[in-house]
Structure 1
Amino acid sequence: MELADRAVGFLLSVISLSIFTYYTFWVIILPFVDGDHFIHKYFLPREYAILIPVVAGVALLCFLCAFIGLVMLKSKKKA
């Protein structure tokens, strides 16, 4: 099982690094590149640079609150 854990860890690291690199280039470097440059066709519009993390954060917060509420309800029923 150790090899599978290493493979999953490596895959998650590669995906995280890829997303970080894409987002960093998209938000920090791309605004300084001319608007008619061919590289712009590989990136979403800049409005999504704020919208995607906000939606992901709200979804994570909702999931976390639902999980904590479910755990609290289950622990209350046992007592």
Structure 2
Amino acid sequence: MELADRAVGLILTLTSLSPLVDSDHFVHKYFLPQEYAILIPVYAAVALICFLSVFIGYVMLKSKKKKA
């Protein structure tokens, strides 16, 4: 298990160095553009909030129909 932890640590260290290399370095072709670092979490948060809102609304409507 220790070897796997070291391998994961090495991979994380190498990928975290990608902003520190030149922009024309071959490493950059393996990563998404920097805009996605903001867009992906924002879209995921909006989707989660929408899902939770629909779910809570559905549960509230179901509980209201049971009482009536």
Could you state the TM-score of these two structures normalised by the residue count of structure 2? 0.72
Q: Distance in 1 between matches of 2:59 and 2:17?
A: 43
How far, CA to CA, are the matches of 2:38 and 2:66 in structure 1? Answer: 43
Q: How does 1:7-22 map to 2 (within 5 A)?
A: none
**4+ runs of 1 displaced by more than 2 Å?**
none
Q: Which has the higher contact order (CA 8 A, sep 6+)?
A: 1
Alignment coverage as a number of residue pairs = 55
Matching of residues 1-79 of structure 1 within 5 Å: 25=15, 28-79=16-67
Take 1:33 and 1:64, find their aligned partners in 2: how far apart are those partners? 41
> Which structure has the larger Rg?
2
CA distance in 2 between partners of 1:39 and 1:70 (Å): 47
Gaps of 5+ in 1: 1-20
Q: TM-score, normalised by structure 1?
A: 0.63
Q: Post-superposition shift, 1:34? A: 1.1
